Structure 1
């Protein structure tokens, strides 16, 4: 698991867990980018054998940052990627999504209004080195309002997105047949009973076949989780993530068999 913290927006903290609940610090700080921030670090294991993170580099601007590591402890800066989008004022909360066909993608929230109105966009790597990327394209069905922090998983042959409605501060739920959309909302407002002022949702598959969602209760300075055992339809009441609540911020979990 990779996170930034309440104490630092410029340092990466790396944790590991055997049960997706009790997280132990592997290293922190583990990485500091050469410039800017490291908010919202998202992690994958790429086919090149490296762990990669993508992250928010600054409060304003048109870049996302990349770093990689062989052991999750020693990290090296790779590059800041500039998004070629006219009028781009803010580039926030990039999240990895690796599709079933092996394509590597980043879902990123873009503000082209300079008025804190965000829309999720899709970037696709155009080479295996993850140095070149497609032009950002809006995710159809999620691009007509103010959505940020979009996290996507594939389940049951469909693409499932948990995304924050930035105006109401609720985490909402949409489904599509294709990664690019169109997405149809099946859960609006407080559909899951998680409450408002939530952000940074991250989903991981549990060993029992269910799903766990983590999210940042940033207004309360608490970190929560909730489980679903029926294919993302209904969810358990929220509970705080032990040890991490009040410290970790907007993290992403990578499940591995070791």
Structure 2
């Protein structure tokens, strides 16, 4: 009798584990198209390779904030409060970012403009904001790339309109009040498109080396023990002989998959690693909606996907 009970418990536990694993196996890609005029697009995948657009690849949320009213580079995370929190690029030349939250990825809060670079008179832009949550400090960190006129002149170039970015950040507990803006990462080169994930207590930053002369235009990696840094020297390029930007990553078992925009080639690429050191190109194995521009990937449940499929 005891053996039967133990066997039944083992089966139940295995079923719970299997269900939990299944719940984790839906991936959602938040992205934009064209210049971001029509807003948020979503695609899903159950294997992390083949992606299908939702809502016939039409917008889930149209942008309303800033003069330009764009919604480029959307980043969505599931917060500790259970809400989905999203930030995005509102303009090519504004001094702030967009923010909204949602319970279900369908109905969103009123959009807000967060003026994160307003105190910097020489700030020229606020690009590709992202959010990472730190469970130890219970803080959200929002970070982005900006060029501030007169800063880091040793790496300045006259090409590409003289942009010379570094990564800046603020922290918040509630997306209502924010810390002062600070410098997050100064790698000694023009850097944009940072995305940070927690890997068993070590923070991993994927970033784009934006150096134009001589051209780099590749993805690199840096590490830190704390979310707010300091971050290590950037690694050698982990992408190949093409221009890449907008990295976003997901974990599938022991595999790290990093997606990125091969923007000169007008297509997407992906690389795979188990140790964050040795990378294999798997670009030929992925399938994405036509016209997808970079954003971020997150996990959702099957029930959340069912609701999105009804839209």
TM-score (normalised: structure 2): 0.74
Within 5 Å, give how 1:132-147 maps onto structure 2.
Answer: 132-142=177-187, 144-147=188-191
Which residue is equivalent to 1:111?
147
Taking a change above 3 Å as real, the CA distance of residues 162 and 44 of structure 1, as seen in their structure-2 partners, is same
Q: Does the 8 Å CA contact 1:151/1:201 hold for their aligned counterparts?
A: yes
8 Å CA contact 2:167–2:183 kept in 1: the answer is yes
Q: Give the equivalent residue in structure 2 for 1:54.
A: 87
* Alignment partner, residue 127 of structure 2: 92
Secondary structure of 2:111's match?
strand
Report the CA distance shift for 1:77/1:221 in structure 2 as closer, same or farther (over 3 A).
farther
Answer yes or no: is the 8 Å Cα contact 2:76–2:87 preserved in 1. yes
Rg comparison, structure with higher value:
2
Question: Does structure 2 conserve the Cα–Cα contact (< 8 Å) formed by 1:3 and 1:13?
Answer: yes
Residue 33 of structure 1, aligned match among 58, 63, 86: 63
2:46 is matched with which residue? 18
Instruction: Give the aligned partner of residue 295 of structure 2.
Output: 251
Instruction: Tell me if structure 1 keeps the 8 A contact 2:192–2:207.
Output: yes
8 Å CA contact 1:141, 1:184 repeated in 2: no
Q: CA deviation at 1:214?
A: 0.7
Pick from 154, 161, 167 the counterpart of residue 198 of structure 2: 154
Residue 220 of structure 1: SS of its match in structure 2? coil
Q: Structure 2: any 5+ residue segments left out of the alignment?
A: 1-28, 151-161, 303-311
CA change 1:193–1:79 in 2 (3 A) is closer
Q: Which has the higher strand share?
A: 1
Does structure 1 retain, via aligned residues, the 8 Å contact 2:74–2:296?
yes
Contact 1:141–1:182 (Cα < 8 Å) also in 2: no
Length, aligned pairs only: 250
Q: 1: distance between equivalents of 2:301 and 2:98? A: 27
Superposed displacement of residue 47, structure 1: 3.3
Closer/same/farther in 2, CA of residues 6 and 61 from structure 1, 3 Å limit? closer
Shift of 1:95: 0.9
